[in-house]
C-alpha cells in the first residue's frame, strides 16, 4: 500500500494546524517563552552550519585577495586615503573589525534571547571582561596567514579603551597575531578623536602602510557615511561598488548593526514596538489578490 495519501493528509493537517496557530498566535502565545527579535539571527549564527559555511567562504576569498593584493603593488583598499601611484614601497597591512568579523559574541547574544533582555553597555563590558569571546571559523588561520606573509594585521574596533586590555588578552589566547611594539588594536576612545566612525583610525594606518584589505560585518567598518536613510545607504553602497568582494569583504551579521537602526534612524528614544513598526514598514511586501 502506498503511504502517499496518508502522508499528504498529514501534511495538509499540519499545514492547517500551523495556519490556525499563525492566525491566532497571540491568543496561544506562551508568556514563559521569551519573545525576542534576535532569536532567528542568533540561532543561525550560533548553531547553523550555513553560517559557518558563509564565514569560511569569506575567509577563503580573503586569502585569495590577499595574494592578489601582494602581487599588485598599486593595489590599495583605501584609494581615497592613499595615492595608488605612491604606495608600492610602503609596508603592507590589512584592517579588520573585531566583533562578528573575527570575534564571535553569540554567548552574549544568546543571553539576551534566553533572558528576554536588551543590550546594556554595562553588561556588555562585564561580558567582554570575562574573556569568553571565541574566534569565528577561519579567522585565526586567515590572520596568521597574513602575518606569515609579512602583512601587519590591524584591528579597528568599537570596543572601548576600558575593554581593550581584556580584549587583547582574549585575542592573544585565541591565537590572533598582535602587533608587538606597534599598537594594532585601535579601540574607540583610545584617543579623544576616535569616536564610533572609524575613518580617522583607517587614516592612521593608511599613513604608514599600503592597506590591502578591509574586513567587517557592518557598513561602518568601510565608510563613515553609514548613517542616514536606507536609500542614502544604498547610494553610498553603489558608489563603492568596485570594492565589494574585492578589497572590502563583508561577514554576515543579521543580529545587529547600522542596517537594523537605519529604518528608525537610530532614534532609540522610540519604544521597542515603535522601532519594530518602522522596520516592518520599511519592508516591501507582496500583496495577495483576494
Ligand atoms: Mg563588528
Cα 88 to middle of ligand 1, angstroms: 30
User: Which residue, among 54, 62, 56, 63, has the nearest Cα to 138 in the 3D structure?
Assistant: 56
DSSP per residue over 61-130, as a string?
HHHHHHHHHHH-TT--S-TTTS-GGG-TTS-EEEEE--BTTTEE-HHHHHHHHHTT----HHHHHHHHHT
Q: Specify the pLDDT at position 8.
A: 46
Q: Specify the pLDDT at position 58.
A: 98
Domain borders along the chain are: 39-256
Q: How far apart are CA 125 and CA 120, in angstroms?
A: 9
User: Which residue, among 212, 118, 112, 199, has the nearest Cα to 158 in the 3D structure?
Assistant: 199
Residue 211 C-alpha from the chain's centroid: 20
Residue ranges for the chain with pLDDT beneath 50: 1-25
Cα 217 to middle of ligand 1, angstroms: 5
Q: Between the CA of residue 73 and those of 188, 196, 248, what are the distances in Å?
A: 31, 31, 17
Cα 211 to middle of ligand 1, angstroms: 19
Q: Specify the pLDDT at position 10.
A: 47
Cα 25 to middle of ligand 1, angstroms: 34
Cα 7 to middle of ligand 1, angstroms: 46
Q: Specify the pLDDT at position 14.
A: 46
Q: How far apart are CA 179 and CA 133, in angstroms?
A: 20
At residue 110, the 3 state secondary structure works out as: helix
Q: Specify the pLDDT at position 290.
A: 83
- CA angle, corner 37, sides to 32 and 41, nearest 5? 115
- pTM for the full model? 0.88
**156 with 202: CB under 8 angstroms?**
yes
Cα 136 to middle of ligand 1, angstroms: 12
238-269 residue pLDDT tens: 999 999 999 999 999 999 999 999 999 999 99
User: Which residue, among 97, 106, 108, has the nearest Cα to 41 in the 3D structure?
Assistant: 106
Cα 232 to middle of ligand 1, angstroms: 21
- Which CATH fold topology does 39-256 show? Rossmann fold (3.40.50)
Q: Specify the pLDDT at position 173.
A: 98
Amino acid at each position: 500500500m502506498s503511504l502517499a495519501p496518508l502522508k499528504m493528509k498529514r501534511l495538509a493537517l499540519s499545514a492547517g494546524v500551523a495556519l490556525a496557530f499563525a492566525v491566532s498566535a497571540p491568543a496561544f502565545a506562551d508568556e514563559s517563552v521569551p519573545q525576542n527579535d534576535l532569536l532567528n539571527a542568533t540561532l543561525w549564527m550560533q548553531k547553523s552550519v550555513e553560517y559557518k559555511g558563509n564565514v569560511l567562504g569569506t575567509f577563503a576569498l580573503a586569502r585569495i585577495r590577499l595574494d592578489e593584493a601582494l602581487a599588485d603593488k598599486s593595489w590599495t583598499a583605501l584609494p581615497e586615503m592613499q595615492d595608488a601611484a605612491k604606495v608600492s614601497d610602503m609596508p603592507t597591512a590589512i584592517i579588520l573589525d573585531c566583533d562578528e568579523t573575527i570575534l564571535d559574541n553569540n554567548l552574549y547574544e544568546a543571553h539576551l534571547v534566553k533572558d528576554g533582555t536588551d543590550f546594556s553597555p554595562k553588561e556588555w563590558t562585564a561580558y567582554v571582561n570575562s574573556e569568553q569571546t571565541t574566534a569565528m571559523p577561519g579567522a585565526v588561520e586567515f590572520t596568521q596567514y597574513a602575518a606569515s606573509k609579512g602583512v601587519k594585521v590591524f584591528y579597528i574596533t568599537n570596543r572601548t579603551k576600558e575593554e581593550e586590555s581584556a580584549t587583547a588578552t582574549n585575542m592573544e589566547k585565541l591565537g590572533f597575531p598582535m602587533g608587538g611594539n606597534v599598537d594594532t588594536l585601535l579601540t574607540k576612545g583610545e584617543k579623544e578623536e576616535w569616536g564610533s566612525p572609524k575613518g580617522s583610525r583607517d587614516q592612521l594606518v593608511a599613513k604608514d602602510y599600503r592597506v590591502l584589505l578591509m574586513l567587517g560585518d557592518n557598513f561602518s567598518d568601510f565608510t563613515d557615511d553609514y548613517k542616514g536613510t536606507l536609500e542614502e545607504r544604498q547610494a553610498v553602497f553603489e558608489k563603492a561598488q568596485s570594492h565589494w568582494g574585492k578589497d572590502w569583504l563583508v561577514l554576515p551579521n543579521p543580529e545587529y548593526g547600522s542596517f537594523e537602526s537605519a529604518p528608525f534612524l537610530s532614534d532609540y528614544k522610540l519604544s521597542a514596538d515603535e522601532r519594530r513598526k518602522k522596520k516592518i514598514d520599511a519592508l516591501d511586501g507582496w500583496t495577495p489578490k483576494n
